[in-house]
Amino acid sequence: MTKLTKPVFWRLVRYVRRYLYPHIVLAVVAMLVLSASNGTIPFLARSFINQISTLKDLSAVRILSLELLGVFIVRAVASFFASYLTAYIGERAVLDMRCELNDRLQYLPLSFFNRTPTATLLSRMISDVGIVASAATTSLFSLVGDTISLISLTAAAFAIDWQLALVAFVAFPVAVLPVMRFSKRMRKMARNAQRQLGGLSSLLQETIQGNRIVKAFGMEEYERSRFARELQRLFRISMKVATIRALTAPLIEVLGALGVVLVLWYGTASVLKHERTPGAFGAFFAAMLLVYRPFKRLTRTNNTIQQALGAAERVFEIMDQQTDVPDLPDAIPLERRPHRIELRNVSFRYDSHWAVRDLNLKIEPGEVVALVGMSGGGKSTTADLIMRFYDVHKGAILIDGIDIRRYSLKSLRAEIGLVTQHTFLFNDTIRNNIAYGSPDKTEEQIIAAAKLANAHDFIMRLPQGYDTVVGELGVRLSGGERQRIAIARALLKDAPILILDEATSNLDYEAERIVQEALERLVKNRTTLLIAHRLSTVRLAHRIAVMVKGRIVEEGTHEELLAYGGEYQKLYSIQAGDETTNGLAVAR
């Protein structure tokens, strides 16, 4: 075993150990009964053969036959309970591991999801966990059951004839060496296969989600060939794994045949010389044949466990991820009331690139402050820092005079409403999308929020009204309709702090006008950070801050900044000169 294998193995055992009583205990008892019944078969065979060779009375044979039948009935019952309980524990282990992995994913920071493809996470959640849990249950119980069978049958063989046993089992040590060698290669290649499968899933997801672009640029053949190349790589890795699996069984067969041949040569000669009875030799031969069955199964189980250990490393890699925005042990709750926000000498970087430098900004309770600037200026990053999607590298963000890192994440984000240009709707009903994050709200409150967001009328025109399912990412609604659902969601949450991240971006004028009316209601009496896209939205602000390369270079009202003639005036002139727009177009 490598250094990593042992802790990974025992972490897998932990998922099974939870069901120690009564499930594991009963399963082990069933396996013990099954294994013990295996050990009785050679002794019954010896008595049977000896009775036949000196047959005088059929009654003894009939009794032995009934005893043999009884053994097989006991085996059948024990086999059922062992299989059923193993399956139960296996499914519970899959459930527990997926729940634990999902729990971990929910608390990982935004930075983790930015660098990890969604399909890779799905591959680990579905494929890797399935492989891991299978090994942690079926394979582990097979390991226990077959080991007990191997021990009981070996003991029976030695009890029947220890000399023949020594001759027969000379092949076992020779068989173990290549199995151990194959184990290391199996684990490594299984890990590579799962990694390749994750990459293939990412590619497929990207192609499906981008199918409009693929078709628009006529790249179907390119995507087909790219996917085929990745499939070929997966095929080559999978065949290497299959080769090792295919080699193991024949190797054991050959070495087992060696033991059989030695026993036949030595045993038949001794029977002919009357050194052994035919019954004793037949019983030993039956025990030897039965021994090789669990031994072969153990080698296959070992291969399965090695594959699972490779997959487990990938699963535990995510479970062991640490968040870079942790709650402090003594974190305090942020109470519901009007809040004051202050950014004090805030700096933040993505890797080596500084997105925000020495940022200072104050937003008073009930005040609306707009951030404008050219793309890449750090506006959306500033919003993410207030939400604590990331933690600042220098300086501090304070709410009501206290560093936001002192507040619990749950209470901090409960005080903030968010509306972005990339409105995310779940493939659920309009009602549930509006109520997302506010499960305690009544039907009347949901409808009231929709009315304030100018969404109620279009919702009622839909065939199923508030029970209409919006489709994946809200594909069945227009951009303006999606934005109004998002505004209704923020209104229903009724948080005292509001972040509007280009909430009117990419809307036509009519949709913008309707959304704008909803925004005017939304910002009322809230501490609002407004990342602006249109001039009409900027004019909602009490103050405007202009960001350039992560710094605030100008601050004031719309009129003050125009009179100043600096960066804001330049942005305004660019917008005003475009006949297709009506306001300040400032992209992220």
pLDDT tens, residue by residue, 245-295: 677 667 666 766 666 677 777 777 777 777 777 767 777 777 777 777 777
In angstroms, rounded to a whole number, what is the distance separating the alpha carbons of residues 117 and 308? 22
The reported pLDDT for the residue numbered 508 is 62
The pLDDT score that the predictor gives to residue 2 is 36
Q: What CA–CA distance (Å, rounded) separates 166 from 452?
A: 88
Cβ burial 506-515 (10 Å sphere, 16+ → b, else e):
ebeeebbebb
Instruction: Report the alpha-carbon distance of residue 585 to residue 588 in Å, rounded.
Output: 10
The answer to whether the CB of 295 falls within 8 A of the CB of 252 is yes
CB contact at 8 A, 147 and 225: no
Mean pLDDT value across residues 415-440: 85
**Is residue 187 predicted with pLDDT exceeding 80?**
no
- Buried-exposed string 86-116: b where 16+ CB fall within 10 A, e elsewhere: beebbebbbebbbeebeebbeebbebbeeeb
- Residue 402 clears pLDDT 90, i.e. is over it: yes
pTM: predicted TM-score of the whole model, two decimal places? 0.69
Q: Where are the domains of the chain?
A: 5-319
Per DSSP, the residues of 546-562 read EEETTEEEEEE-HHHHH
Can you state the angle between helices 509-522 and 443-452, rounded to 10 degrees? Answer: 120
Distance from C-alpha of 52 to C-alpha of 378, rounded to nearest angstrom: 93
Q: What average pLDDT does the chain have?
A: 78
End-to-end, the C-alpha distance of the chain in Å comes to: 51
pLDDT for the residue numbered 61: 62
Specify the residue for token string 């779940």: 426
| Interior/surface letters 237-260, b for 16+ CB within 10 angstroms, e for the rest | bbebbeebbeebeebbeebbeebe
- Which pLDDT score, from 0 to 100, does residue 41 have? 67
pLDDT for the residue 58? 63
Angle at which helices 58-107 and 140-160 cross, to 10°:
150
Distances (CA, A) of 399 to 49, 341, 434, 500: 89, 5, 27, 18
- The mean pLDDT of 230-244, rounded to a whole number, is 78
Residue-wise pLDDT for 300-317, tens only, equals 777 777 777 777 888 888
| Host H or E run for residue 343 | strand 341-350
Instruction: Kindly indicate the confidence band of residue 583, based on its pLDDT and cuts at 50, 70 and 90.
Output: very low
Residue type, 178: P
Q: Which amino acid is residue 526, in one-letter code? A: R
Integer Cα distance of 80 and 68 in angstroms: 19
Q: What is the mean pLDDT of residues 318-340?
A: 88
Whole-angstrom distance, CA of residue 211 vs CA of residue 490: 32
5-319 sits in which CATH class?
Answer: mainly alpha
pLDDT at 104 over 60: yes
CA atoms within 13 A on the CB side of 503: 36
What is 192-251 written as a DSSP string? HHHHHHHHHHHHHHHHHHTHHHHHHTT-HHHHHHHHHHHHHHHHHHHHHHHHHHHHHHHH
Residue 528 bridge partners (DSSP)? 368, 498
DSSP letter, residue 429: B
- What's the pLDDT at 394? 93
What span, in angstroms and rounded, lies between the C-alpha atoms of 73 and 79?
10
For 539-574, how does the pLDDT look when each residue is reduced to its tens digit (9 = 90+)? 778 899 998 888 899 898 888 888 888 888 888 787
State the residue for tokens 């790589």.
233
pLDDT class of 586 with cuts at 50, 70, 90:
very low
Residue 346 to residue 450: CA distance in whole angstroms: 37
| More confidently predicted of 39 and 514 | 514
The secondary structure of 98-143 as a DSSP string is HHHHHHHHHHS-HHHHHHS-HHHHHHIIIIIHHHHHHIIIIIHHHH
In this structure, are residues 379 and 355 in contact, taking their beta carbons and an 8 Å threshold?
Answer: no
Can you give the pLDDT at residue 405? 93
